[in-house]
Chains A and B, each alone.
Chain A
Amino acid sequence: MDLNLLSRVSAYEWHIPQKGTMRVPGIIYGDEALIRDMDLKVYEQVVNVATLPGIVQASFAMPDAHWGYGFPIGGVAAFDPQQGGVVSAGGVGFDISCGVRALYTGLRADDITPVNEKLADLLFAQVPAGVGSTGRLHLKPKEMDDMLAGGAQWAVQRGYGTAKDLSHIEEHGCMTGAKPAYVSDQAKKRQQDEMGTLGSGNHYLEIQEVVETFHDPLSEKLGIHSGDILVSIHCGSRGLGHQIGTEYLKKMVVAASQYGITLPDRELACAPIDSPLGQEYLGAMRAAINCALANREIVTHLVRQAFSEIFPQTSLPLLYDVSHNTCKMEEHQIGGRSRRVFVHRKGATRAFGPGHAAIPPDLQAFGQPVLIGGTMGTASYLLVGTKEGMDLAYGSACHGAGRRMSRHQATRQWKGQRVIQELAAHGILIRSPSARGVAEEAPGAYKDVTAVVDAAEQAHLARKVAKMRPLICIKG
């Protein structure tokens, strides 16, 4: 991106001045190198989002922003229903509530080394991953609706996961306002055999070792020490979310003119929050959030089963569960007063600061945990939200490394088996049903996650707690 297009506010904050049909300015967080590396499409998409009705304050992009569909990946925007604000199916995307959770294991790296092959095989056998994989659960129509209304709470009631998990999941594991009736039969059919599956692409299950901690005693208080082993799970609402995104995107594209909305990009399809279509989408999208929360809870149960075969004493308590692709109604201080707005986070993580009521009591003092997934060859990070971040971008932070090259480019540069061998030489075991999928996800295909996380911290969006490196990666 040409820096001349931007106004530099600080080393980590860059503004796009309001012009033309923009209703608010654009704000991009990141250091100079990250911004230069961003595609010009990110600039265009931040500007396009800024033209949508009812947008408040600014159209934001996180340090990992890259070219997305309508919104940039890493885009954050809030809309006020009192000012004709919209909800955008494109602003949430297809992989609704795709997210990451981390589990404590109570184990150390030395515990894993002697059994790493066995553990990798067990996890690969236990957790369905890859294209067309199905879970052991087949949901009948009534069960499907109960799951869509209940989220992780439904899963726990069914014996997957524990009640203790729920307080460490956004929305306590159940998104209120979900309306299963607004989810089509096609979407439900697409999901009926996919509960408890990872999916494919960038989704994964990793066993990670903490290799560095920051800001002691913060990491200490969160129970994180160098050498600790964590489990990280990255997956979403699977086929149901994809189908809801597909269907409502089209409905909103077709209906836009009825609502007098001019779309600079069809992918920004949206409807007024208070319109019947806006309310239907919110009901369906919230049901998809519950589907994702239930899915991650079931996968967690499967992981615990696999661990118990080798480490019967471990319980794998949940550290935290974050969602990436959502639209949520939240209260924020804007212009000196509290306003109820609908915050879209597209490939961005909620990162509420210390003291926020949405954070469970045992984490109140630290801020909400933020889990940043890296690649299967580099690192992931644990951060926490900050008080300053609440005023910067509605308590939001980055979500991952962001792709540096396309999947097609990656397959021309790497072969899956070779990637697996090279990672094994560095002590990282990969299990995947697809060698080509591994090549497409090669670590070199992604940006430097450390640079992204450092920029997020320097911009005061979130604060680093720990860096983890992968030991075992189950890749979808």
Chain B
Amino acid sequence: MGIRGFGITKPQAFEQAAVALTAVVTDPRQVDTQMERHFTCDAPDDELLLVDWLNALIYEMACGHMVFGRFDVTITDHHLSAIAHGEPVVRMKHEPAVEIKGATYTELAVRQMEGNGWVAQCVVDV
């Protein structure tokens, strides 16, 4: 399934890609954002950084049984630090549709669009 985040800045595009990641599993609007999880990632380039960021979230969703609805991302060079806001997954409430196995390099792109804004996208395997 393809996910794509748009933002005025690159970090905002990464944040919106993460919202799209949640949307693969459940409706992000149904997620309470009371709890926080902190993440840091380093990668050789922006595209690998996006994959690392998404895979860090996927890992926390799998092992921590969490879903996230809001994200604060900062990126300096190719170092990302982020706070994800969410809650433990509740089957009756979130009706999670599918487990995400991992973020792939298929259709992977992080680029500045003509005019304003950034796009961050890839396909995730479910």
Give the B-binding residues of A (Cβ under 8 A). 69-70, 90, 93-95, 130-132, 186, 189-190, 199-201, 239, 242-243, 245-246, 249-250, 253-254, 265-267, 269, 406-408, 433-437, 440, 476
Do A407 and B59 touch across chains, with their CB atoms under 8 A apart? no
Given contacts A190-B63, A246-B55, contact A253 B105 (CB under 8 A): yes
State A249–B43 Cα separation when bound (angstroms): 14
B87-126 interface code vs A (CB 8 A; 1 in, 0 out):
0010100011111011111101000000000000001011
Do A437 and B123 touch across chains, with their CB atoms under 8 A apart? no
Residues of A within 8 A of B91 (CB): 130-132, 433
State A12–B32 Cα separation when bound (angstroms): 53
State A406–B91 Cα separation when bound (angstroms): 23
Do B106 and A69 touch across chains, with their CB atoms under 8 A apart? yes
Given contacts A131-B25, A246-B102, contact A186 B95 (CB under 8 A): no
Do B59 and A186 touch across chains, with their CB atoms under 8 A apart? yes
Sample 25 A-B pairs with CB under 8 A, ordered by A number.
A69-B123, A94-B101, A95-B125, A130-B91, A130-B96, A132-B91, A132-B96, A200-B99, A201-B98, A201-B126, A242-B101, A243-B102, A245-B102, A246-B58, A249-B102, A249-B104, A267-B105, A407-B97, A407-B126, A433-B96, A434-B96, A434-B98, A436-B97, A437-B96, A476-B99
B23-35 interface code vs A (CB 8 A; 1 in, 0 out):
0010000000000
Give the A-binding residues of B (Cβ under 8 A). 1, 25, 44, 48, 51-52, 55, 58-59, 62-63, 65, 89, 91, 95-99, 101-106, 108, 123, 125-126
Tell me which of A131, A239, A249 has the highest count of chain B C-beta atoms within 10 A of its own C-beta. A131
Do B106 and A131 touch across chains, with their CB atoms under 8 A apart? no
Do B99 and A201 touch across chains, with their CB atoms under 8 A apart? yes
Question: Apart from A131-B99, A132-B99, A440-B98, what 11 extra A-B contacts exist at CB < 8 Å?
Answer: A69-B105, A69-B125, A95-B101, A132-B96, A200-B97, A242-B62, A243-B59, A250-B51, A265-B106, A407-B126, A434-B95
Do A199 and B99 touch across chains, with their CB atoms under 8 A apart? yes
State A246–B61 Cα separation when bound (angstroms): 15
Partner of B108 from A186, A242, A243, A266 at Cβ < 8 Å: A266
Closest chain B residue to A406, Cβ basis: B1
Residues of A within 8 A of B102 (CB): 94, 242-243, 245-246, 249
Residues of B within 8 A of A433 (CB): 91, 95-96
